[in-house]
Structure 1
């Protein structure tokens, strides 16, 4: 499948998650633009691209995982690790072939880390790493099948 599209517009992704770094929306938007520039022949334009991508960050959660038993049935078991999960909802519009478009598709990825690490110390780094995976998935869902 090939396309004649030469431009893509990527709207600012908004952060609608309750938690997480305040600049997440800007971070994923910039990473998305850079990814499309580096991995396709598309020109990123401010608006009215032949291809359009928009979305929002809908989830940022920290969940305890990997329970550790204290060996004492009276004690509360704790978790040795925490999972940071980010969810992004994206809409992709292909003005040249509507069958290729998708609306409000969820993309999610996570990173696990030991509880000894303070999440504030690694939050920005891990957020960027998770975004790399999500961006790759968005790219594959939108234009990789050319």
Structure 2
């Protein structure tokens, strides 16, 4: 009888520790407060010197998709418990590697986004910050690589923003 009680204790003990944890933790590393249910993602306008017509829409949708896939939060049009707003402040393509005959062998595509996150439930978790990521483009035909590079950069930027808002990284 004593052995059965000890085995039962070892089976129940891990569940007790799990139920006593604070906040909600997901496998994405996010720690979203239990009372946060909704988030609003406003349209990120492109205010960069070089304007790519579809970049604003692509970035805004990439951020929404990151939130949908990495959290339990619902996205609402306005008055969310968390609000993302901001703008694209830089989009540039500059030489990254110059050959001996002064030709660019590689170019660097850089995107910078200025983000303001308002946590309406706990203002101390709100922030305003710039995020920058880049991707190397090889060869002379950078236009054919630009779409893939933008998608990769958006994925990196949205990961950085999500982690800053919900994982305190």
TM-score (norm 1): 0.88
Counterpart of 2:93 in structure 1 is 62
Counterpart of 2:13 in structure 1 is none
Deviates more, 1:60-69 or 1:31-40: 60-69
- The CA distance in 1 between the partners of 2:52 and 2:142, in whole Å, is 11
Deviations 1:49-69 (A, max 9, x none): 010001111000111012222
Counterpart of 1:108 in structure 2 is 132
Note closer, same or farther for the CA distance 1:20–1:125 as it changes in structure 2 (3 Å cut).
farther
Q: Which has the larger radius of gyration?
A: 2
Q: Which runs of 4+ in 1 moved over 2 A?
A: none
RMSD: 1.6
In the alignment, structure 1 segments of 5+ residues that lack a partner are: 71-76
8 Å contact from structure 2 (residues 137, 145) kept in 1 = no
TM-score (norm 2): 0.77
In the alignment, structure 2 segments of 5+ residues that lack a partner are: 1-21, 24-32
Looking at secondary structure, tell me which structure has more helix per residue: 2
Looking at secondary structure, tell me which structure has more strand per residue: 1
1:19 deviation in Å?
A: 1.6
